[in-house]
Amino acid sequence: MSKDVVKIIEKLYESFLPKLQIANWEKLTLKYEKFLKTIPLSEYRKNLQKIKTVEFDLSGKYRSLHLSLIYHLYWKRKFVVLINNDVPSRYKKLKNLANLLKDFNGKIPLYQLLGCLGFDSEEKFINWLYFKKYSKGVFPINFIELKQELISDNYMFPSFEDFWKEYKNNIDLNEFISQHQNFIDVEIIKSQIIQEIKKDQGLFILLKEEDVKTERTNELIKGYILVGLKARMYRTWISLLTQLDLSYIWNKTIDTIKMDSDVILDLKGVDIYGKVKDCFIGLQIKKRSRRHEALKITEGKTPINTVDIPYDLDFEKDEYLQDKLKRLENGFVVFTENYIRHIYEKFFK
């Protein structure tokens, strides 16, 4: 990652910090845990986790899109805002974006812009916004800006089905398949479909939910890819909800250092991060199936120094984690204030 982009992330963190400091974290965390308790994990696992997914790489704008959307719905919202519409027509991309913003009353969620104007990721958009210089000293940042808003106290977190509907509204399946054609073998998909139908005739009822006509082979394959994508999105959604639980419980527990979470650093291996004595330090959840070191700080592998935090779905069997995680009634494993204080005392005080 460019050092310049890290500097921009730092500026965005500083601008967002006042909102983190004044938020009612007691209320927000309570509301978030209440939402996590409503997730029907067993139902999702039954219908989604058993689906074999097509082996494609979620690269480019789709990877950035679904992370951006999850953050936008469950943590903070990033908006691209028009501040000056007087853009010379010769700066085509900037002019097109300004016109688009004007059509939407000057404000659009960032995730809805990714890809439609040639930005494959938030990082590329930020590079363009802050570092692109046109002739005569014209910068995109002179005409548009990025604003961040914390989820409000009154906001109701959407279910996975609602998240999935929003995701589908912002992808084109044909374009998705085209982008990932090097990872998709149609003959393998056909054989997978045959095997899945043999195992469970009812499995492809899911395709009807996606309004895919199953009479024709190519539509069935599209449906299989779409349902497989839905299954993969579910796994990503669940993983990020755990990460955001860490954000909420940290900010509720610790008054002196407020943590943020962001797509760009997320993709670089940093789940949440905050500033300590003018230096960033991050936390990275390390899911594990076997015991390893309790807490350790890694240097060089991520853009900022990062503490690896053990996390285990079977934490009850682990003496170290027994008092640091807890299981909700539906099986969701979340962080405790005791764990947060333990991390804070060791690395942040």
Catalogue the E-assigned strands of the chain: 76-82, 107-109, 144-150, 272-276, 279-287, 296-298, 306-311, 325-327, 333-335
Does residue 282 belong to any structural domain of this protein? yes
The CA distance from 145 to 78, in Å, is 10
Contact call for residues 304 and 282 (beta carbons, < 8 A): yes
- Give the largest Cα separation in the chain, rounded: 66
Quick one: pLDDT at residue 218? 74
Does residue 300 belong to any structural domain of this protein? yes
Range of the domain at 279: 253-347
Terminal Cα distance for the chain, rounded = 28
| pLDDT of 248 above 90 | yes
Phi, psi of 79 (to 5 degrees): -120, 140
Q: Give the residue among 12, 8, 10, 17 at the shortest CA–CA distance from 279.
A: 10
Residue type for 226, please?
A: L
Does residue 15 belong to any structural domain of this protein? no
pTM score: 0.90
235-251 mean pLDDT: 95
2-24 mean pLDDT: 90
Contact call for residues 305 and 275 (beta carbons, < 8 A): no
Does residue 237 belong to any structural domain of this protein? no
Does residue 94 belong to any structural domain of this protein? no
Interior angle at CA 235, CA 231 and CA 241, nearest 5? 135
The CA distance from 52 to 228, in Å, is 7
Instruction: Compute how many other C-beta atoms are within 10 angstroms of the C-beta atom of residue 24.
Output: 11
Kindly state the tokens that stand for 52: 């074999």
Q: If you ran DSSP here, which 8-state letter would residue 49 be given? A: I
Number of domains in the chain: 1
Distance of CA 139 to the CA centre of its chain: 28
Using CA atoms, how far residue 272 sits from 240, 307, 336, in Å, is 11, 10, 16
pLDDT bin (cut points 50, 70, 90) of residue 294 is low
Contact call for residues 246 and 41 (beta carbons, < 8 A): no
Does residue 3 belong to any structural domain of this protein? no
328-344 mean pLDDT: 96
| pLDDT of 213 above 70 | no
Q: What percent of the chain has pLDDT over 70?
A: 90
Does residue 311 belong to any structural domain of this protein? yes
pLDDT bin (cut points 50, 70, 90) of residue 2 is low
